Amino acid sequence: MEHPDWLRVDLASLDWRDLGTWPAWLRAALVTGLSAAVLAVGGWALLSGMAARNEALEAEARTLRARLASGAAQVADLDQLRTQEEALEATFANWRERLFANSETAALIEHITEAAEGSHLAIAGIDLADSRRLDHYAELPVSLRVLGTYHQVGAFAGRLANLSRILTLHDFDIESAEPGPELRVRIDLKAYLRLEEP
């Protein structure tokens, strides 16, 4: 089959530096081929970039779904957490009410004296040290010296434990008070004071 004359071109005679002398159809074919190649390379680059972006978006979506599920679980527990918070606040308020106020030092000594007298102990001395401030309260160390029997000292400790305010007993130093069954007892205790609101 013979090609028409306009399709016959001697490729060896074509000058690559002078494309303007080429036949129009050959220039159009070259431009079309180059455009197709550029479009193919650009499309491949665009599609590969979009694929990477798509993977990143899918990973972000998985992360967000996991965070949403975690948040949903926390929201589901919110009522329970609120109930627990209210219970803790009530407990804290109850304990706070059981602390001595700074102005109740005289009441503290009165409570100790009443507990000793109710237990038939004789008080030999009460010494208050400087209070020590902690995060939510202050400690007031008290050194107490009493005279009485072993059972009276035990009854005294029980009366202190039943006070509405918080006192803790720490060190005991017990000596015999000759003659007789009485004991000399030194007791270190701590009273707990409320920190006044600013």
104: confidence class by pLDDT, cuts 50, 70, 90: confident
How far apart are alpha carbons 116 and 159 in whole angstroms?
8
Residue 118: per-residue pLDDT: 92
- How many whole angstroms separate alpha carbon 123 and alpha carbon 112? 9
Is it the case that residue 76 has pLDDT exceeding 80?
Answer: no
Q: What is the pLDDT of residues 3-56, one digit of tens each?
A: 555 556 666 667 767 777 777 777 788 889 889 988 888 888 888 878 788 888
Token representation of residue 45? 């680059």
Mean pLDDT taken over the chain = 82
* Inter-residue contact 51 to 43 (CB < 8 Å): no
DSSP string, 35-75: HHHHHHHHHHHHHHHHHHHHHHHHHHHHHHHHHHHHHHHHH
Residue 102 pLDDT greater than 60, yes or no: yes
